Copies of this chain bind each other. A is one copy, B any other.
């Protein structure tokens, strides 16, 4: 049987939108990127989201395909049940009923999701966690957030706020987090925190801005200061992931986000540090994400497929 069904998927970030037309088997048949230009305000951003989604649906129809649903991923606090973007610092959303606006404009069933949760969904079902029923996806970038995916469904929580692993306590006497509390994992091991810590220890005479990726590189070449900062981050991450494993008992932890691009420079010491911390726990497989920055868009597509009950097909490919 030929299947001409497709979904329209958008992953809306603070700077850009990754957009695609996706088949039920997860294959992307068309991909586009558009600027978010959040400075225009939330109404303009929503206008662009709807224009882009409608445009992609029209192009799919022109290609002889049948759009059956729309999936949209946004950052911040997302009420997936009501389809409302509750709050987002990057994009400026405050209680925007994105789902209903899209349904009204496109006339297609629409699902709204959280960017990290749909990224985890995609990694668990199509990416590095594929075949593992219990996955924790951890995105490490400017912040740190996670998605707990069991049997292909991401936990949302009672208020759309589950998975905030960046805000579990790891160092009670550590630096203050952006959230206001001291010692959160994110305040020590996010890419932003690693850069800050290096600059702090290097002192005012050193390079003004060193990224986490550069700290990882310098650590690999044996620079003592970079080695210390990198190991502090590894230890904090291992503490945080071990606490997560105690609670979730997953089979696989998938690391994504910018910091995961350090590859073995991250994975090898982190696996060793995790192993030290596994006492009664079963040690999870610790792997790098496989879908790169496409995960959010693919996850938005999966959410759209789930919303219209098209799931078995895509799982079987």
Contacts and interface: CB of A to CB of B under 8 A. Distances in A.
A239 B172 contact: yes
A150 interface: yes
Nearest to A276: B181
Contacts of A277: 181
A277 B148 CA distance: 23
A238 to B, nearest CB: 10
A277 B180 CA distance: 9
A168 B247 contact: yes
Contact of A134 (B158, B247, B250): B158
Contact of A280 (B165, B168, B179, B249): B179
Contact of A279 (B134, B150, B167): B167
A240 to B, nearest CB: 8
Contact of A162 (B132, B163, B248): B248
A282 interface: yes
B246 A164 contact: yes
B246 A167 contact: yes
Interface string A35-48: 00000000000000
Interface string A137-166: 000000000101010000111111111111
A167 B242 CA distance: 9
A171 interface: yes
A261 B242 CA distance: 30
A246 to B, nearest CB: 4
Q: Give how many copies assemble into the complex.
A: 2
Given A133-B158, A172-B170, A163 B279 contact: no
A251 B282 contact: no
A244 interface: yes
A211 interface: no
Contacts of A291: none
A64 to B, nearest CB: 41
A258 to B, nearest CB: 21
A293 B77 CA distance: 38
A39 to B, nearest CB: 24
A88 interface: no
Contacts of A248: 155, 157, 162, 247
Chain B CB count within 10 A is highest, among A150, A239, A280, for: A280
Contacts of A180: 279
A3 to B, nearest CB: 32
Given A150-B155, A170-B169, A170-B172, A161 B243 contact: no
Interface string A210-243: 0000000000000000000000000000010011
Given A158-B134, A169-B239, A279-B167, A247 B244 contact: yes
Chain B CB count within 10 A is highest, among A164, A169, A246, A250, for: A246
9 contacts: A146-B247, A162-B247, A162-B249, A164-B249, A164-B280, A168-B243, A169-B239, A179-B280, A181-B279
